[in-house]
Structure 1
Amino acid sequence: MTSKPLPPHGSLSRHKWHGCKCRTCYDGYNEWARQHKALKRGDTYNALIDAEPVRQHLLRLEAAGISTTKVAKYLGCHPSNVISFVKPTGAGRPRRRRTTPEHAARILAVTVADLLPGTVDATGTRRRIQALAAIGWPLRHLGPIIGVSPAWVDDLVKKDVTSGQTAHAVRQAYERLSRSNPERHGVSKVSAQRARRRAANLRWPTPKYWAKFPDAIDDPHFTPEYGMTKPQRLAEEAVWMVTVAGVPRTEAAARLGLTFGEVDEALTRNDMRKAA
């Protein structure tokens, strides 16, 4: 005896009578329910539309550093109502492929400018510019790529705060250039070598270094130890213990195996660096 094939996914009977709980069947049932209620009320019915444009819009926002959870919070809805456009939200609930025109319009209206803060900590911006210089990108060449004047880039590596728009532009430039060869993009060999020498003298970490610590580049509390000798690392540790942790100088010296004079010298160098 040949069994009768099941109705297709998305049909009313597949969900209601055969108990299928996949996202396609849920969407099909919700579509039927909306239409049925609208007809009973005598309202004009708006059918579900393709959700792919919503998905692509959310992926572009994610590429700009704005998560789907952040979009949901901005819209004042449950995170699953936004996340489901990008990925499955559970067993038997695949990615959403159809949605209401109203819901799609709300999400599509969200822009990067809506969610980027006005002023942000400049640690990540500064480190990304320094890392590009470490592989040979002169700061003046980065200005047009970032969208600011060449002279302003030199100021960015000294700032403690910057605008959200600038941080976003630097992040995009870094993603695009961190694996590139400057000489193949119009930078002269002399300029690239000069940028590398300056970065090496200032111990600016390269993109390869930051790739080992993917979450650290934006963390102002993370101190990179790129290009440092063991005595230099101990000196930096001593500075942190005294200035941040509040450990007395003599105790810091004893813990690290340094003399009091070495700790004092490290603190003096730190003060001079800050003044410079």
Structure 2
Amino acid sequence: MTAPHAPAALAADAETSDTAPAPENDAQRCIRRPGSTWSRCKCADCRAHDARLTKLNRTGRYNATALATAQARAFTRLEHWIALGWEPLAIASATGVAQPTCWEIVREIRAGHRRDLQHATVRRILTAGPPTAGFIGVTGTRRRLQALTWMGWGLSRLSQEIGIPVMTLSDARSDNGPSTVAAVIAATIADAYDRLSSTRLPARQPHAHAARHRWAPPAAWDDETIDDPTVTPEGVDTTAGAGTARYANEPDVVETVELLYSAGLTDQQIGYRIGLTPSGVQKLRLRHKIRRTA
């Protein structure tokens, strides 16, 4: 086969060079991170976007203060969740933010640093729901179980009611138990607490157990703050020794004991009503010289 004529080969090369796509310019390739506001990207879309933001900022229609406020609110929520014992996986399940991102954010917050969050991340944090995976602090779960015990709900009965093993409930209820609990278990117990906390069972042993350990009843907790470790039960003296008055407003308790004792109730019956052991009621009567009226 003979070689192509030189002019024909040159013409073919010229035609190929005219039809081949030109290599993409690096300056035209978009390098903007998803969710970012300002970028160093020089592609046509990003230049138009930045020009529009510049114009809005110049005319006062771009509210940078609102964006900074949203960032601050997001970090406040994150710090609150960390204080409640939420692990990064729990935060990721509640917000929809990627788990590696949550790990990095939590690590930086614990180190005392705050980085700029993407707008999509801020929105997800501010619209987060309850966690559905991972572990959270056990404080709220423990208080709910202890309050249900005060209302007469023993662990066996509660286990049958909500389908959680007795040992799991016992570990979560104990003051010496683990510091975290699975988010799904915490949600199940919280739902049971909402349904059962207003129902007093006649079982005396669980209530007496709660009284001995000075556990607070449901009325002592606010639904908004029961999970907060820094909040104490309202009207309850948790520092009192076993068998003594549990309530900080002891004069009201003394008056109640006096009325019930005068009505003929025994120490055990009075203790069942106000959350004291029989010996605690007896000590209270002797200390305040409460006697039956003729």
TM category (shorter chain) comes to 0.3 to 0.5
Larger radius of gyration: 2
Q: TM-score, normalised by structure 1?
A: 0.37
Q: TM-score, normalised by structure 2?
A: 0.35
